[in-house]
A and B are shown apart, each in its own frame.
Chain A
Amino acid sequence: MSEEKQASGGEFEREPVPKNALLGFKSFIGMYAGEHCAGTELMIGPLFVAAGVSAFDVVVGLILGNLLAVLSWMFLTAPIATRARLTLYYQLEKICGRKLVTVYNLANGVMFCFLAGAMITVSATALGVWFKFPMPGFADTYPNSVGWVLAVLSVGTLISIVAAYGYNMVAKFANIAAPWMVLVFLAFGIVALRNFIDATGSTISSPGDLWELASTVIWRGAEPLPGKVKFTFWHVTFFAWFCNMAMHIGMSDLSVFRFARKSWYGVATASGMYVGHFMAWLSASMLFAFQLHAAGLIDNGAIRAASEAGTLPAPLPGPLANEACGLAGLLCVIIAGWTTANPTIYRAGLAFQAIVPKTSRFVVTLATGAVATLAGMFPALAMRLLDFVALYGMLLMPMGAVIFVDYWLLKRLGLHSSYAELSGKSFNWAAGLTWFLTLGACFCLVKFAGIEIFFVSLPGWFVAAILYIVLCKFYQNARVATAE
């Protein structure tokens, strides 16, 4: 299954996937392993260290959080995907109407743009190693040097042009790069471990010794770096679970699993979760942890002093990878950022093109890449990637709840599913209000109830599900009464 089919809904965009087009289990394993070992893993791992995680919290939290993500794919997404066999967009259109789906596409496209921007930022940090221009610091929000702007512009322009002209070529290249990239990520962690052993003079002769090193030196569980939220076990767990919320609970991967023969193929997502969101995150985090250790920033006092002096190192993937694995590591940073930015820009372009269907896909893809490049110039996007990813999931979560309720519950409650298709309406107000009111509720929970953005999507989902049922009762009864 190519990225293009997956991204565009390619074949069978407006019909169920027929039996003869279904795919076996192995197709999904490779796809998820490659997709989730990406450039952004090189930012997220270090940001865990910046958030002051402890060894137990990060290791066990990632095991549990990734398990919850896999189970979400298996029990929420795949069962609907293998029964309805429709793309997310077509499923949403039947429920919500074309106009509401247009709004969804706009929101999704904007978020894809910013995500691609973060990936361009990751790749651009590799250029900093070669061209030695000042790279952004930890607290930088705006571009800090002409060299940085030029680097992001160059990388972003190249990625955008290639995405517009040669999507398929890059997709094929990504498939070739995936096995190599996974091993380079593994090498990052192994090299960092040796560096820690040498720096501390530790002797590792048992798992207990390794755990002692991990919990007292690598992931000390100290104060977070200035300006960062302290990450506890639950922060790590919920982040790992909701990191890809748009895809599982948000139902975006209906477009992927509609090709699966069985719904249990959802377990294939474990390849992505435990390779990319466990191994790669831990490896990348060890690189930054060692950078802090090597700079003598091994206690809260030293870190505070460095922050006040403006000398706190930033988690820049390029220099970290170069320090650990040299040119091969730098190439991994560039390729990881590029091969993931490519389909992300492409998907964002598709989402926007649905809004302006008469514009050529080539032009829309270029314009999307331009927006992503501009976003990538602002280091705040990468430095606050954890918050952005949580926001992305929260934004699209309500529509996932709408799809879930529409598919499984509405008929049992005496209501109609796929109501927009049934009534011929282009904007299902019950779904639209569910989306907007749920986001409003989540905003209030974050702003006034002290629930952090990393957790709010859980109560948010239930708010969305209940709201949709209640609003459907009013909306569908009102429409029937009007018709009579």
Chain B
Amino acid sequence: MRRLLQLISWIALLGTVAPSVLYLAGSMQLPQVKLVMLVSTIAWFVATPFWMGRTPETPSPEDSPATS
């Protein structure tokens, strides 16, 4: 789940700056730039608090495969 949230966050970061680059290149119109940036902003702030600044859970001994 953490990995999925991190992936969403990274995509959101990309979605924050990439539209402006596409606008610069003439591949996107400004209203679309604003919309994609807004969606990316929402995605960033929804996904990121669940993993940033939190240490990943370490598996407990019970979760490890039994060795015998």
Contact = CB atoms under 8 A, between A and B. Distances in A.
B53 A327 contact: no
B34 A326 contact: yes
A298 interface: no
Interface residues of A, number: 21
Nearest to A2: B53
A183 B48 CA distance: 15
A408 interface: no
B5 interface: no
B45 A328 contact: no
Contacts of B45: 176-177, 180
B13 A179 contact: yes
A187 B16 contact: yes
Given A176-B49, A184-B16, A328 B24 contact: no
A183 B34 CA distance: 14
B44 A180 contact: yes
A84 interface: no
A260 interface: no
B20 A328 contact: no
B16 A327 contact: no
A183 B16 CA distance: 6
Nearest to B28: A194
A325 B34 contact: yes
A447 interface: no
Contact of B21 (A175, A190, A326): A190
Nearest to B25: A194
A331 interface: yes
Nearest to A187: B20
Contact of A328 (B13, B30, B37, B53): B37
Interface in B14-48: 16-17, 19-21, 23-24, 26, 30, 33-35, 37-38, 40-41, 44-45, 48
B38 A328 contact: yes
Contacts of A179: 13
Report whether over half of chain B's contact residues are helix, strand or loop; otherwise say mixed.
helix
B27 to A, nearest CB: 11
Report whether over half of chain A's contact residues are helix, strand or loop; otherwise say mixed.
helix
Nearest to A181: B16
Nearest to B19: A187
A207 to B, nearest CB: 15
Given A179-B13, A180-B44, A193-B24, A187 B52 contact: no
B40 A328 contact: yes
B49 to A, nearest CB: 6
Interface string B50-65: 0011000000000000
B20 A326 contact: no
Contacts of B34: 325-329
Contacts of A194: 20, 23-24, 26
A197 B52 CA distance: 38
A180 B24 contact: no
Contacts of B52: 175-176
A83 interface: no
Nearest to B44: A180
Nearest to B31: A326
B29 to A, nearest CB: 11
A172 B44 CA distance: 14
Interface of B: 12-13, 16-17, 19-21, 23-24, 26, 30, 33-35, 37-38, 40-41, 44-45, 48-49, 52-53
Closest 3 CB pairs of A and B: A326-B34, A328-B37, A187-B20
